[in-house]
Structures are given as C-alpha cells and as structure tokens.
A and B are shown apart, each in its own frame.
Chain A
Amino acid sequence: MTAVRCFIIFLISLVTSIGAKAQFSEEYLKYKTMYPNENKVCLSTTTNFNISIVGAELKIEEVFSEENLYLGSNANLFSEDEISYSSFFDLKDLKASSMNFVNGKYKEIPVKNFTHKDNLSTGVFHDDSKMVKFLYPKLEEGAKSKVYYIYSVKNPYILAKSFFSFSYPTAVSNYIITADEGVEIAFNTFNTDSINLKYSTEVKGGKKIYKWTATDVKGIKQETNSVGYNYYLPHIIPRIVSYKYKNKKIDVLNNIKDLHAWYYLLTKNINQEKPEDKLVDLVSSLVNDKNTEFEKVKALYYWVQQNIKYVAFEYELGGYIPREANDIFNKKYGDCKDNANLLKKMLELAGIKSYLTWIGTRDLPYTYTEVPSPANDNHMILTYFADSIPYFLDATGRFNPIEIPSSFIQGKEALISLDSTHYLIKKVPIINAQQNYITDSVELKIQNQNLIGNALIKMNNYQKMDYFNFLEKITSSADLLDFYNLNFKKGNNKFLIKDFTESNKYSYDNEFTISYSFNIDNYILSSGDELYINLNLNKHMLDLVSKKEDVLNKEYDFKQYRNYKFIISIPEGYEVKYLPKPYNAKLDFFNCELSYRVESQKIIYEHTIENNFLILTKQNQTQLNTILDELKQIYNESIVLKKIK
C-alpha cells in the first residue's frame, strides 16, 4: 500500500470516529468494533432462580433480566417482543424499556402497553400457554432495550434450561440459583468447553448461591441441515435434587428413579374406567384372526395409527398425563401420550402386556444418567417386548411399521415404566442404511434423439414412509403425476412420466413399488456418426454437498441406501466407442460405487450410495467433500456410441 493511500484511509477512519462520537455511546463504539458484522449484542442477561422452603413445599421464583444493544441500522426490526407464560410459569411482573442515546447519555423510555393473548399455536390445539406482546419504542442504531420479568415456577420438577448465548454475541451471561440451605441442587452444563465460563458458590444469609458467569460468548448461527441448537449452544440444565422439611429429606429429582416415580404418579390413576363395549369388540375383531401375539400387536398398532388423529391438548399437568383410553377411542383424536395409552389399553384387552415409555426426540441430546429430569423428555411411546426384544411403538405415527421406530427417536434412550418402582432404560435402535433403501431399475432405449425408459422403483421403511407422508396429501391425479415427475426426475426437466402403476401404496409391511415409463426428449446428443449419452441421470449424491465455511455438524433423518441400475440397449448398427471408468469410495460412514459394463448389446450402469450416518460431523463432511468433488468429475462423463461403418 502506498503511503498516500494509507493516509487517506487513516483520514476516513478518523473522520468517521469523530463523527460517530457525537452520535453514539462509548459502549456502542466498543461493541461495534468488536462485532462489526452483528446487528445485536446482548450486554447482559441474568436468570436468577430463588428457591425457598415454605412449609412442606418449595417456592420457586425465576427472575430474568436482559439488556441488548443494537449495532445495525435495522434496530427497529427488533421492536416487537413477546414473553410467554403458562400455568407452570406464571408471569408475576414484567417491565421493559428502550434506552436512547441523546445528548451524550442514555434516556430511558418505558414500554407502557402490554397486550395479552391466548396462544393459538398450530402444533398444540389447546393449551394454557399465553403470550404478552409489547413494542420497544424508538429503537435505532446505538439504542438499547431492557426487559425484566418474574415467573412464579409452580412445579419443582419443571425448571427451564437456560442458554449462555444465542445466534448473536453475549457480553455477560449470568445464571444464578439462590436456594435455602437444605435445598439440594444438581446441574449439567452442555457445550461450555469453548466458552469462558466461571462457576462459584457462596453461602450468604442462610442461602446458598450458585453462580455461573459466561463472558464474551460468540453467537452461533444455524446453518442448512445443521444439528439442533441443543447440540452446540452453551447451556445449563438445573434440577432440584431434594429439600429438607422438618429434618426429613424429600427427594425431588435425585436420579432416574425419582423421575420415574414422578411420572408413574402422574399416570397411575388413568384407565380406571371400564373399557367400553365398542372398544372391547373392536379389539377382538382386529385380533381374532391373528395367530401370533406379534400379529395381534401389529394389527392393533396399525389401527391406532390409521384411526386416531393427532390433536394435542396440553393444559396444566394435562401435558404430562394421558387421557382415558375410552375418551380417546370415542373422540378419535389425541396426542402422543393419549394414543400410547389407548394402544396400551387395546393391547391389554387382547391380553398383551406393554409399557408406557417416556422419551426425548433427537433434538434433546441427553442421556437419563446425565439429565434425570423432564427436560430430557418431550414424547411418549409404548414399548412391547417380543422374546425380550423391545419394539418401540409410536402411536402418533402414520405409516410406522412395527419394526421401525419413528426416525426422530432413533438412538435415543427410552424410559420404560414397568410398574410403580421398576423401569428400564433401553436405547432405540438406529435403523441401518440397507433397510432404508430405494432402488431404481431402468431399461433405456434410444429413439431418435429421445431417451425412453421403463422402470421399477422399490423402497422401504423410512424412504417409503417419507413418500407416504407426501402422497397422502395429494388428492388429484394431475398432482400425483407432478409429484412423481419431480421425485423420479432423470437427466433434466424434460423427463416426463407417461404412465405408472403403484403397488403396496400405504402398506406397513411390504415394500412400496412403482413401475413407470417415461421419455426424456432430446436427451441424446449427436455429432457426425456418434451419440453421446450421460447416464448419470440421478445426481442425488450431490445433495450432501454443504458450504465449505459451515462449522456445525449436519443432521439427517435416517441412514439410507440407494441403488440405480440403468440398462441401455445399444441401437442396431452402433458400437460402444467409449465407456467412462468405474469409481468407488469407501469410508466407515459412507460408501459409493459407480460402474459401467457391456453385456449382450446392452450397457449396464450401476450406482450405489450408502449413507451410514445420522449426524455428519464437520470432520466427516470434509472427508466427504473430497469424494463429492471427485464424483462431480465422474458425473461429467458421457458414454459414446459410434455407428459401425
């Protein structure tokens, strides 16, 4: 850089900072320099749990305060804020304000209007969650917002977890538990290795204070296909282990046993009613022609999946307690715990034992040993044992074969309640790639410049279930054709299916097959007496490409296997002039093969891909990227047919 240019740049920055000084606070300038590309920084956030023993009960208050500073000209986009509350987290106090930097100091403008609304969310049909909405006035670049509220936490089992940072940077994040002596606390921290986190305890005025302080925590932004935020954002999950009342120790959540005991308590009084005759009749009609217990379980499981619609009611502890089997049977709708309970009752009527089972979906990456608290659960299923092999029945499923658990609980621990004091922890299996297959076998013919094909697609398990979920929503034949044109697309978008036949559509136990014929007009390229055909008609592999700058691990719904077999007849009078080389790549989490061969006037192209991962780590992704780069080159190769002279 020349001296003159250097000087000009110096001038520009000098002018800017002088100009800026008048308008912005020191604080703004500091953080703007630290985080020039961020729009918002959290200056401080404090969550303070006050836990005291009142009589035989615990009184829990969560005091939350936060101050944010806006660094971008889009500050007013953050004007709207909302706080939710419910019967478990009763909102006691709420204050909010904007802070504007005027004439060298911050001036506070309090928020005056708070509007409350019942939360009509789409996921849960009816619950007791409410929302209070408000607007921060006059948010502009350099302004700050403050919010303060208190929850009265009504249930000692349900303490919310707390994050030390979000997608934007946080300067200071405090997490404090102030508890009466006699209250025993346990906690787990996650993803805190790379942040500056200090932990201290002190005893003050008969209270024990646990304090975590994280400083200058960078924000982490979600990326395409990345794992959920619980996998990477630093956070803490607290729980109350026990407390003392009149010198007696009362256990709350000391271990899994306590968690199970609480869950059992919530469910022990359900299904007290006599089952309705109709339900009894239905069960016997569904199982009376089944020879084995397993067949009976299947019949009942599939009936619930088909006939009970998902409608969630979460009112107070109703979010944890299943409703009566009779009730769900009559209403024909319920949520996960309702459906699990109905299925349990139906199995019981058929003389089959099964067990209510608590589980967290894959978004909750914890084990019960680490987190023996409801923070580890968000779902209920039913476990059935056949020859001591557990089957995890998700009665909210729609097309789940009995052997296949819902994809979103694969690999997770299940808490299976056997009776009032006994439980089992079992890991839900991860279904291997070969079971989730799609194979596409295609016979191809060249007709003038067009490629004509007859094909048979077969698929099973998660692949099939994914298709079924989409197919169920399609009502017109035109939309169905569009769907297959899009999903079976080969070559380019001139791919048009002429006709197709579906077999085993919506079948639980059999593979789904579709035979179809298609045209790809003008796909064949020719020059002189040569024809060029790129047989890499599917390039699904390249869907695994991710941005090089991404840092987070990627998550996939299931492991999978794909096989494409394209057999093209060599037209009469032609011979093969060029066949591309084969390719294969093998890693412990990934396998790919591609080959060409000639057999009796036909070229056989075969391509298999096996993805053996649910989570693709950054390191694995880097390895995979090398293969994908090679594969791109391989996909660029066409076969050449030449007229025999």
Chain B
Amino acid sequence: MITRALAPYIFALLLGIVSLNLSAQKEPFYKTYDWESNPSYQLNFNDTVDIVSLKDKVVVEFYYEADGNLSEYFLIHQILWLNSDEQIEKNNKIYIPYFATTVPVMNKGRVINKDGNVINLTESDILTAQDDETKKTYKYYTFKGIEKGSIIEYLYILKKSPNYKGNSMFYQEEHLSLNASFDLYSPSNLYFKFKSYNSLPAVVQDTNSVDKLHWSFSKDTIPLLEKEMLSNYNANRMFLVYKLDKNTATNQHDISSYGIVSDNVYKYVYKEESKSTVKELTKLIKNAKVDATDDLTKQIRTIEDYVKRNFFYVNSSADELSDVSYILKNKIGSDDGLLKLYAKIFQILKIDFQIVLTSDRTSIRFDKDFEANNFLNNYLFYFPKIDSYMSHLELSSRLGFPPAELTNNYGLFIKEVALGDYKTGIGKINYINPVSHEKTYDNILINVQFDKDNMTTIIADFDKLSQGYYAGYTQPYMHLLDEKNKIDVIDEQIKYISDDVEIIDKQVFNDNPEAYGIKPLEVKAKIKLSTCVDKAGDKLLFKIGELIGPQMEMYQKKKRVLPLETGFNRTYHREITFTIPDGYVINNLSDLAIKNSYDKDGKTIFSFISKYELNGTEVKVAIDEFYTIFDIQPELYEQYRTVINSAADFNKVTLVLEPK
C-alpha cells in the first residue's frame, strides 16, 4: 500500500476529475442490484469437496455525484458452499475494513441451510470497531446457523473516495470458483485500461452500453489453484488490474502513468526542510561519524547503521511521524518519515541516489508493461555509483542486501533531473537484480577427533561463517537481544547438527549489525557429539553426513505446477577433516563423493559436489554447493530436485570403521 502521508501527493490529480457538466447519468448500478429473493442453488458436488465458491462478483462503479464530485461504489457479492467444519470455521466471520471517508451503503449476509431455510443477518448482528491508529473502522459479523452443507452469502457496497490509478482484483482460490465476474462502470468521459494475469480472461468493453462506459469479464468456472511448498501462491493466482487511462472531457491521457507519480514522489521526498532541521541533520551526520574521505559504500553504511540503531520505526499513519524535525527530536518515525530523513541526509552529504518503488514479488510481480499504482508498494534507495540498494525500514537488511522479495523484480526508479533551475523527478522502469550467490554463503569447517576411550563420542573443532542473507536472521539483531537470547541464537548456529551437541566452549565474531554484509558472522566452537557414531558389534558406523545437519529434501516425487522460489541465491562450502583412528580401516570412503549439477548455456546454474582426499590416515572432505537462481520454473524442477537431494543424500553418508 502506498502510505497515507504520500497518498495526497500521488493522487493529487484526483481533484481534477470533477464533472464538467456532463449530461445527467443513469443511477449507479448498485441501485438495481440485489441478491435472489428466493435463493436456490444446484449443488452437484462430491461429498469429499469441502468448499465451493458459487458466486464471486465484484462491481466497481465510478460515478459523478450531484455536486460534481467523483465517487466510487464498490460492490462485493460472494456465495460459498461450506461442507466441512474447518471451512465453516474459516469462513464464518466477515470483516470489512474501511477508512473514515468511506460510507457503507449496504451490508447484508445470510445463511441458506440444506433444507432451504434462510437465516438473515440482522442489523444488530453487525458490529463496529474503531482503530484510531490506522484510522480504520471495521464492520464485522458472524454468520448464524451454519451447518455442514450450508451456503453463506454476503453482499456489501461501500461508497469510497475513488481509487482509480491502479487496483488489483484476485480471483483464484484453493477451491473451485463458479460464476466469477468483474464489472467496471464509469462516466462516459473516463476511459479505463485493464490487464489480466495468470490466464484470467481479458476484461472487455461492452459496446452496447449507453449513458455510461462498461467493461467486464465473467467466467463460469475458475479452476482451483493448490498451494505448493516454496511457491509464491498469491503472485501466481489469476488476477486483473484496472486503471484510469484518459479523461476525454479534459483531454488528459496516461492519467495513471508513472510520470506523475515520479514527480509527486520527488516533490515529497525532496521537499525543503527548515534551516533548524538542516542544522539538526548536520549534527546527526556528525554524531554518526561519517567520514567524507571514506568511499561511498562506507559512508552510506555508516549512516544506515546509525539511523537503524538510534531511530525506531513505527507502523503508524500519525502525521508527526513523517515530519523530519519531529523524528530528529523523538527518534521515532514512520515509513514515509524515515524515507525523508535518509533522503535529506544523503542530499546534505551529496550522495547521489534514486528512490525505487516496487512490489513484493511474492504477492504481486511488478509489471513493467502496465503502469499502475498497485505495483508501487515498497521503497528502496538505489545508489547508481555503486549499483547498490538500501532498505530504509528493514532492520534485517543493510546496503547491498535489500529485502530479497523486492529483488529479481522490476521497479520504478525515480531520479532527480535538473532542467536549468527547475528540478523534477523522472521515473524509469528498471530491473532490480538479485544479489549474486557468492555474496550469501554458509560455510562450515569441522575437524573431528575420535575419543579413544569412548569411540562413539567425537570431539570437533567447529567453525561456521554465515554471510549475507544467511546472517540476515541473526547478525543485524544481535545487539537487540538480551544475554539469554543471544546465547540461544549462537547455540542454534551449532545445534543445527543435532540438539545433542554439547558445546564445550565457543567464540563469536562479528556479532553486530555493522558487520552485516561486510564480515561474516563467525561462530567457532569446540563441541562434543555422542550421536554421530553408531556401534555395530566391533564396527563403528561414523555418520559423517550428519555433521552438515538435516538438509531440505524433495524425495517424494510430485508433479510441480507453480514455480519454486527459495528466497535468495546462495552458496555453501563445507570441509570436514578427520584421522582414521588407529586400528581401523574404512572401505567405503567413495560414498563421500557425490556430484550433481545443472548447466545451461555452458554455465552451471546449480550444483552439489562433494569429494574427499586421503593422505595417509587423514581424510579431508570438501563440499561445494550453490544456486545461482532462486525461481525454479516447473520444467527445471526435476534437475533442481536432484541437486537438492544430493545434499540430503550426503547427510545420510555413513562410513564403516572396521577393525584391521
């Protein structure tokens, strides 16, 4: 969502869309719409089906009110057949959130039981809750009298401030949907554009419509889409996006284009601050100890580390939290506020930057070919000189490691351009490259010694280095933890092998956010393990593979439908060394060598290679594993599975130590 503070700037054009004395309109669609007074539905579903959507109707109408202002009427009509306790519990409550400028026009619900009995919701069943913080109101209720096999039906209409610069509607669910439709009505001067995604039918214009413009799609059946492990479910559902394109009354075109957004964002972010605020900002830069002789990366990191340590982000739309002077004084700020704070600091330091607006690709992928505001949800700073991104909000992120879900995606890059004395923001759509696999690694070096007195126990020198996104869950937070939690987090770095690991002593390096992305989080330890060697009569079974910990496995053969997405590119390097104990031989060392990789156009895309060297009685095992892409299309799934399972197979390698 574009945050509230910025909204007035982006939607500044809104005021321009008042009616220019167009001929009187027909009344809005909703006035003549209602649910069936005598509902009856054909239900020919197998009893194993637990839910079917019988109707999924959305109608959006833009409408000039008598005073000439444009309103939006938003209608949802949904009918669900619920045939399991689980689905009843999931669907028996309805929450309708809206802002203060919205008026609920209609809100009704009913339950139709198997015997045809209809239980209508009464006015007193509908509850209201206020939230001053988000400035939202909720209407909410529970359906009464639902039994297994009941139908629930609800219909509500909201009259809202019009939102026409890009909106998405999702249709596909984990269950079958029948009678899905979307209609958009608008005054005859307002022309909309539509785009459908993931095989949803196109929205087409009804050329027979008189008095108002009308576009729609309807489909009898929308197939269900099952959730799959490691898939971005929402982004793969069928959906459509609509936006206002032109106003023939004023002859405006490309109304929802990013040109206007870029200019508005620019004006908002680059707004001049008072002299006293600039003075405070200069003081902040001094306190942060930014050294102008440092390279750009170091300077930006110094600022970022300082602000993230000292300022607290609040997810709130309170106005003062976006005011730079307030933030400087109180050390708390909102999304927009902190964006402005950083932008001001970078301006003072004359650090060249661009503001990037993009989407979380796990929810909706940025469409570079269809400019609409619903793709502009998250900010990043981009520094062209070092080709690097920074997130102003995420504590788990630092320069060079933006939230991974915002990468591998397109975005709108807004940069300052000067035309003589006039400065403005110009937007351009670019690709946000994901961070390469070499920069995110998890390396483990283990040197194993057998305990001569108790051969089923091993002592090991352990060294684990986590860099990049791998340390993103720990390194940037270490200073925030109390001692007990800190110990737990560090112990977890070792106990991935098994809960049974006994930590004799340990040392931690670079356990601070300032090191994140620069130096790896390193945990060195001496450990004792008593579950790693089995006894089989006089033989010892050394479960060496367990030292790399349980690995993700995909042993089960499944047909893959959705692309598999694992978050980020990554590399693993592991080394395990040990000396074969006196009096023993190992005849199955070759089990340690596993090699599987996938190449494309002469380049290795993902790979697992383990090998070993034997020098006298010393065995040295080295494993290299990496993934240079993290969105695996279904056609690559089998190759990916083979490599992933190689690591899981290694985890099970057991060496047989036989007495000589």
Binding site for B on A (CB under 8 A): 37-39, 72-74, 76-77, 79-80, 109, 113, 115-118, 120, 125-126, 133, 135, 137-140, 221, 306-307, 309-311, 330-333, 398, 472-473, 475-476, 478, 481-482, 485, 492-494, 496, 521-522, 525, 527-528, 530, 532, 534, 542, 545, 577-578, 580, 629, 632-633, 635-640
Cβ B146 vs Cβ A330 within 8 A: no
Q: Taking A476-B226, A577-B537 as contacts, is the C-beta distance between A309 and B89 under 8 angstroms?
A: yes
Residues of B within 8 A of A639 (CB): 536
Q: Taking A332-B146, A492-B652, A527-B656 as contacts, is the C-beta distance between A139 and B331 under 8 angstroms?
A: yes
**Cα separation A522 to B594 with both chains bound (whole Å):** 15
Q: Which of B130, B331, B536, B656 contacts A118 (CB 8 A)?
A: B130
Q: Which of A109, A125, A525, A532 contacts B142 (CB 8 A)?
A: A125
Residues of A within 8 A of B142 (CB): 125, 311, 331, 333
Residues of B within 8 A of A221 (CB): 484
Residues of A within 8 A of B133 (CB): 115, 117, 133
Besides the known contacts A521-B555, A636-B530, 20 further A-B residue pairs in the complex with CB atoms under 8 A apart = A72-B482, A79-B314, A115-B132, A115-B318, A117-B134, A118-B138, A138-B330, A138-B332, A309-B89, A311-B92, A330-B144, A332-B146, A472-B86, A542-B499, A629-B530, A636-B533, A636-B534, A638-B535, A638-B536, A640-B537
**Cα separation A73 to B480 with both chains bound (whole Å):** 7
Instruction: Say yes or no for B129: interface residue by CB 8 A criterion.
Output: yes
Q: Taking A309-B146, A330-B144 as contacts, is the C-beta distance between A74 and B480 under 8 angstroms?
A: yes
Interface string of B241-261 (1 = CB under 8 A from A): 000000000000000000000
User: Which single residue of chain A is at the shortest CB-CB distance from B656?
Assistant: A527
User: Which single residue of chain B is at the shortest CB-CB distance from A578?
Assistant: B537
Cβ B318 vs Cβ A137 within 8 A: no
Q: In the complex, what's the smallest C-beta–C-beta distance from A572 to chain B, in angstroms?
A: 21
User: Which single residue of chain B is at the shortest CB-CB distance from A546?
Assistant: B499
**Cα separation A158 to B93 with both chains bound (whole Å):** 30
Q: Rank and list the top 6 A-B pairs by shortest CB-CB distance, nearest first.
A: A37-B483, A578-B537, A137-B330, A118-B129, A638-B536, A76-B312
User: Which single residue of chain A is at the shortest CB-CB distance from B531?
Assistant: A632
User: Which single residue of chain B is at the shortest CB-CB distance from A224?
Assistant: B488
Residues of B within 8 A of A307 (CB): 147
Q: List 29 A-B contacts (CB under 8 A).
A: A74-B481, A76-B332, A79-B332, A80-B314, A115-B133, A116-B130, A117-B129, A117-B131, A117-B132, A118-B130, A118-B131, A138-B331, A332-B146, A333-B142, A333-B144, A333-B146, A472-B85, A475-B86, A478-B226, A521-B555, A528-B587, A528-B658, A530-B536, A532-B541, A534-B534, A633-B456, A636-B534, A637-B535, A639-B536
Q: In the complex, what's the smallest C-beta–C-beta distance from B310 to chain A, in angstroms?
A: 7
User: Which single residue of chain B is at the shortest CB-CB distance from A327?
Assistant: B144
**Cα separation A638 to B147 with both chains bound (whole Å):** 54
**Cα separation A525 to B542 with both chains bound (whole Å):** 11
Cβ B145 vs Cβ A330 within 8 A: yes
Binding site for A on B (CB under 8 A): 50, 84-86, 88-89, 92-93, 95, 119, 127, 129-134, 138, 140, 142, 144-147, 174, 226, 309-312, 314, 316, 318, 320, 329-332, 456, 479-484, 499-500, 530-531, 533-537, 539, 541, 550, 553, 555-556, 558, 587-588, 648-649, 651-652, 654, 656, 658
Cβ A73 vs Cβ B93 within 8 A: no
**Cα separation A166 to B100 with both chains bound (whole Å):** 39
Cβ B145 vs Cβ A638 within 8 A: no
Q: Taking A72-B482, A77-B312, A137-B330 as contacts, is the C-beta distance between A496 and B85 under 8 angstroms?
A: no
Residues of A within 8 A of B658 (CB): 527-528
Q: In the complex, what's the smallest C-beta–C-beta distance from B308 to chain A, in angstroms?
A: 10
Residues of A within 8 A of B500 (CB): 542, 545, 632
**Cα separation A117 to B317 with both chains bound (whole Å):** 14
**Cα separation A478 to B559 with both chains bound (whole Å):** 11
Q: Taking A76-B331, A115-B132 as contacts, is the C-beta distance between A632 and B530 under 8 angstroms?
A: yes
Residues of A within 8 A of B93 (CB): 125, 311
Cβ B534 vs Cβ A113 within 8 A: no
Q: Taking A74-B479, A472-B86 as contacts, is the C-beta distance between A496 and B331 under 8 angstroms?
A: no
**Cα separation A120 to B50 with both chains bound (whole Å):** 28
Q: Which of A478, A481, A637 contacts B536 (CB 8 A)?
A: A637
User: Which single residue of chain B is at the shortest CB-CB distance from A637?
Assistant: B535
User: What is the number of contacts between chain A and chain B, taking CB atoms within 8 Å?
Assistant: 176
Residues of B within 8 A of A37 (CB): 482-484
**Cα separation A135 to B484 with both chains bound (whole Å):** 27
**Cα separation A527 to B658 with both chains bound (whole Å):** 9
User: Which single residue of chain A is at the shortest CB-CB distance from B652?
Assistant: A492
**Cα separation A398 to B89 with both chains bound (whole Å):** 12
Q: In the complex, what's the smallest C-beta–C-beta distance from B535 to chain A, in angstroms?
A: 5
Cβ A77 vs Cβ B539 within 8 A: no
Residues of B within 8 A of A306 (CB): 85
Q: Taking A137-B331, A138-B330, A307-B147 as contacts, is the C-beta distance between A113 and B310 under 8 angstroms?
A: no
Residues of A within 8 A of B649 (CB): 522
**Cα separation A73 to B330 with both chains bound (whole Å):** 16
**Cα separation A638 to B656 with both chains bound (whole Å):** 12
Q: Which of A72, A73, A330, A636 contacts B456 (CB 8 A)?
A: A636
**Cα separation A495 to B651 with both chains bound (whole Å):** 14
Cβ A638 vs Cβ B541 within 8 A: yes
Cβ B648 vs Cβ A493 within 8 A: yes
Cβ A578 vs Cβ B312 within 8 A: no
Q: Taking A126-B127, A527-B656 as contacts, is the C-beta distance between A331 and B537 under 8 angstroms?
A: no
**Cα separation A522 to B651 with both chains bound (whole Å):** 12
**Cα separation A125 to B129 with both chains bound (whole Å):** 11
Cβ B534 vs Cβ A637 within 8 A: yes
Q: In the complex, what's the smallest C-beta–C-beta distance from A534 to chain B, in angstroms?
A: 6
Q: Which of B119, B318, B550 contacts A113 (CB 8 A)?
A: B318
**Cα separation A211 to B330 with both chains bound (whole Å):** 37
User: Which single residue of chain B is at the shortest CB-CB distance from A536?
Assistant: B534
Cβ B539 vs Cβ A496 within 8 A: no
Cβ A330 vs Cβ B535 within 8 A: no
User: Which single residue of chain B is at the shortest CB-CB distance from A482?
Assistant: B556
**Cα separation A133 to B648 with both chains bound (whole Å):** 48
Q: In the complex, what's the smallest C-beta–C-beta distance from A308 to chain B, in angstroms?
A: 10
Residues of A within 8 A of B530 (CB): 629, 632-633, 636
Cβ B482 vs Cβ A522 within 8 A: no
Residues of B within 8 A of A640 (CB): 536-537, 539
Q: In the complex, what's the smallest C-beta–C-beta distance from B461 to chain A, in angstroms?
A: 22
Residues of B within 8 A of A113 (CB): 318, 320
Residues of A within 8 A of B132 (CB): 115-117
Q: Taking A332-B144, A472-B85 as contacts, is the C-beta distance between A309 and B312 under 8 angstroms?
A: no
Cβ B119 vs Cβ A76 within 8 A: no
Residues of B within 8 A of A485 (CB): 556
**Cα separation A109 to B92 with both chains bound (whole Å):** 46
Residues of B within 8 A of A72 (CB): 479-480, 482
Residues of B within 8 A of A528 (CB): 587, 658
Cβ B556 vs Cβ A139 within 8 A: no
**Cα separation A222 to B377 with both chains bound (whole Å):** 38
User: Which single residue of chain A is at the shortest CB-CB distance from B229?
Assistant: A482
Q: In the complex, what's the smallest C-beta–C-beta distance from B234 to chain A, in angstroms?
A: 18
Q: In the complex, what's the smallest C-beta–C-beta distance from B135 to chain A, in angstroms?
A: 9
**Cα separation A332 to B312 with both chains bound (whole Å):** 45
> Which of B140, B480, B658 has the most CB atoms of chain A within a 10 A radius of its CB?
B480
User: Which single residue of chain B is at the shortest CB-CB distance from A522?
Assistant: B652
Q: In the complex, what's the smallest C-beta–C-beta distance from B173 to chain A, in angstroms?
A: 12
**Cα separation A523 to B13 with both chains bound (whole Å):** 68
**Cα separation A135 to B142 with both chains bound (whole Å):** 34
Residues of B within 8 A of A577 (CB): 537
**Cα separation A632 to B535 with both chains bound (whole Å):** 12
Cβ B145 vs Cβ A120 within 8 A: no
Q: In the complex, what's the smallest C-beta–C-beta distance from A385 to chain B, in angstroms?
A: 30
Q: Taking A311-B93, A638-B535 as contacts, is the C-beta distance between A527 and B145 under 8 angstroms?
A: no
> Which of A126, A333, A580 has the most CB atoms of chain B within a 10 A radius of its CB?
A333
User: Which single residue of chain B is at the shortest CB-CB distance from A330?
Assistant: B145
**Cα separation A638 to B534 with both chains bound (whole Å):** 7
User: Which single residue of chain A is at the shortest CB-CB distance from B487?
Assistant: A549
**Cα separation A640 to B539 with both chains bound (whole Å):** 9
